[in-house]
Structure 1
Amino acid sequence: MQFTRRTLARAAVAAAAFAALAAPAFAQGYPDKVVKIVVAFTPGGPTDVVARMVAQKLSVKWGQQVIVENKPGAAGVIGSEYVAKAPADGYTLLMATAGNLTVNQHLYKHLKFDPVKDFTPIAQTAGVDFVLVTQANSPFKNVKDVIAAAKAKPDAVTSATSGNGGAPHLAAALFEDAAKVDLSLVPYKGTADAVNAVLAGETQLDFDAASQVVPQIKGGKLKPLAVLGIKRSALLPDVPTMAEAGLPAYKFSNWFGLVGPAHMPKQVTDKLQKDVAEVLKDSEILARYQILGLQAPTAVTPAAFAKLIQADADKWAATIQAAHIVAE
């Protein structure tokens, strides 16, 4: 059978028309099988906690199973790459952090994906307060004590991190730059392990998410020295910000958000955004956010979330270069 140019042109038009009709039909039936939310970190950390809250509420709303799968490693690179290369059909998603999408490209020079271009932004899911903590019986009473000790003996004061390039590592590295000190940063396999290291006395400090350390603070096992954001935490109203503690130029915060592979159908993206925004208003989730020190998201549409991702990627590029932060 011979194909003329006219025949091929007609076939192309027909294919395009079919695709245009099929996309809404596909979205209308979404989801009709298990949806997987990947967390690029170990279980029990704040990203994992938020992912499981959202997954549970979406499962109820859809009457369809939504599972969370942990794929930790390389400060979130392994899990992020897995989702970036997954089919763009809305059934494999990533509960990302600011580190996944705006930091790693400036720390790892040989990524096999582009954290900005290779994902479809859906919605920010939470803002995250960070706190500098030490053991309850630590001699450090405030941030000035930490700085004095670190300056007296460079590399002697130890700080746990969730892994090279993770948020606690970045927060500690920014502290080193702002205070002009050298800490000994000790990487662990995840946030939970880093917190446990401080509790056990293996390390002296941890710059970590409030959701991970507030229960230990309330239980009298950890001592908070400073909140890392620009304002005090409602959960720790008596704890000063880092600026109030003596480092006016220091500020650090994190966020979580849901993304999928690039080029997801718009109808699927829109449905996900609408349903995620709805479950995030659930009274149970709002109550747990308050307990965990998580903030309600501000970039709840794909466009707003994409703008936040790009702005933070630009900010971290300049910050990492100025502070000479490296992942190794």
Structure 2
Amino acid sequence: MNNDKITPFQLGCLCFAFMSGFSTLYLLEAKLILHDVWIADITAMLATIVLLKLLVYIQHQFPTKNLSDIIVTLLGKWLGKSVLCFYLIGMTGLGILSLRSISLFYTTAILPNTSPNLIMLLVILVTTYAAYLGLSTISRATLMILPFFTVAMLVICAFIFQDVERNPFLPQFQHPVPLIAYSALVSFGFPFGKTAVFCFLFSETTNQKKLSKSCNIATVFSCAYLLISTYLAFGCLGENMFKTSSFPFFSAIQLVKFGEYIERIEIIIIGIWTILTLFEIIIVQYAFVKIVGRLFTVKNLSSFYLPVGAIFFAVAATSFINPAKLVAYDLTILPFAIIVPSILIPLCLICIIWFRKLGTKTTT
């Protein structure tokens, strides 16, 4: 297992892949407020940038420690470990949502006669082995796939743009402020807020001074990708079809045809989407094992990856069997469930650090 540290650039690429995997799958916030979706996405992006700055600040106070150790140091042994258990539950939820999203998409659009459990089992076998190989190997794989993703998306977007007759984001400001704020919360829950998982990887970078810059750039690019995809899907399908389609951007891509012989170009995009989503599950599993190692004070974590993968598969196989419940969870529960691990806990850690510094200055 490779435990080499990664560069901030590699971390930024991982962060982009983590956020952009299936971020365009449902486009739930766009279905809520249609023309005003850009406000919600940009608001969620700005909130994520602030969140990352707070997390990087916490890491800079303890540059040699992982966030797991920082939490235990600041909150004490028992409370700190309880918070880490809470993070484990949240990461399990993220992994399950990703697994179920992949299986739902494949069984709906591509392989209707295939068992969802079989698809999830194949995915979890791949992600478990990838997490076992280590962060350095994962980051190199990301660097290899992102150029293909960029070229494919540019080509697809150029062809879809031909079918956009007018600006789908007009007219603007057609919805009340509370609904726009709720849509921003939905966008923060998926995909932006889940980047809090990356705070457990900050200690494994070679230059922590560039953490904020690399993560912020990845967040901005992820928001741009989400907005462009929404713009093209909305403009190509129209308001009614966009709201009724289960996978709007995929439906828009299906309209793209290159001549007489290359018609199913969306298969290439599906493959790239799947790989990026795999990175999301891999990172969650990797961080999960790191936290488990801190809870049980174990240095050699090689034997933990397979049991953790088995736990993810077992929980996913018994959760969200009804696809409607999966979408309902993303729309109603996830936006609020992510507030505690992504916002409240980092703010508590910041307050403790500031009070400690204030107390030290007063004593001096």
Higher strand share: 1
Higher relative contact order (CA 8 A, sep 6+): 2
Does the alignment reach a TM-score above 0.5?
no
Higher helix share: 2
- Rg: which structure is higher? 1
TM-score normalised by length of structure 2 = 0.22
TM-score normalised by length of structure 1 = 0.24
